[in-house]
Amino acid sequence: MITHTDDPPEQFWEQFYADGARWSGKPNRSLVDEVAALAPGSALDLGCGYGGDAIWLAQQGWRVTAVDISANALEQAVAHAEEAGVADAVDFQRRNLAESFPPGRFDLVTASFLHSPAELPREQIVRDAAAAVAPGGRLLIVGHAPSESHRHADLPTLDQVLGALALPADEWETIAAELRELRHTFRGETEAHTRVDVVVHVRRR
């Protein structure tokens, strides 16, 4: 189970990202799998953290707006983008998505692991994400699947994510809506672990 907290979300995430230790330097694998073949355009990365997805998108030619609630995360993200030579292609913005959402429409909107032990109106945020997709654009939502065997027991199921979006079938095409099993290795470990993610990839017609 995730341990929930009564801390204000800004305070929780500043502490979470305080030491910089969670930077892997790698993008989300499902993002790469779903997006690598797309022609680049404008992208919005919600909950960008240290910027792994935003930097990878910029390296593929996307113009990226990357948003996070944590100033600590964004400071690190800017530094990583500079190191990667793509700082000019990424606009990092500090926003609490419960209160402020980036304006405009985007060819790609991504929300990877937008889970929070602190209060977060996740369903409203994913609906706002869908509203920000330009005609012909894509929405990609990736999250840990709930599992009674580990700490992700109380996260939204695939059906709950689709229900929260409530996208009209005549306006949206489903590219992927599935549980996806991935094998990965944590930092400093040699043994691979299995993780199951919820992956929702849709295109506005």
pTM (predicted TM-score): 0.90
Nearest-5° Cα angle at 72, 125 to 40? 55
- The predicted-structure confidence for 40-69, as pLDDT tens digits, reads as follows 999 999 999 999 999 999 999 999 999 999
Instruction: Collect all residues with Cβ–Cβ distance below 8 Å to 198 and sequence separation of at least 6.
Output: 141, 142, 143, 144, 145, 155, 156, 157, 158, 161, 178, 179, 180
Domains of the chain, first to last: 40-99+124-143 (3.40.50.150)
Using an 8 Å Cβ cutoff, are 130 and 167 in contact?
A: yes
Q: Pick the residue with more confidence: 117 or 39?
A: 39
CA atoms within 13 A on the CB side of 120: 25
C-alpha to C-alpha distance for 135 and 122, rounded to whole angstroms: 23
- The predicted-structure confidence for 149-163, as pLDDT tens digits, reads as follows 555 557 899 999 999
- The predicted-structure confidence for 60-106, as pLDDT tens digits, reads as follows 999 999 999 999 999 999 999 999 999 999 999 999 999 999 999 99
Mean pLDDT of the chain: 89
Q: What is the DSSP letter of 25?
A: S
Using an 8 Å Cβ cutoff, are 113 and 150 in contact?
A: no
- The predicted-structure confidence for 18-38, as pLDDT tens digits, reads as follows 876 667 778 999 999 999 999
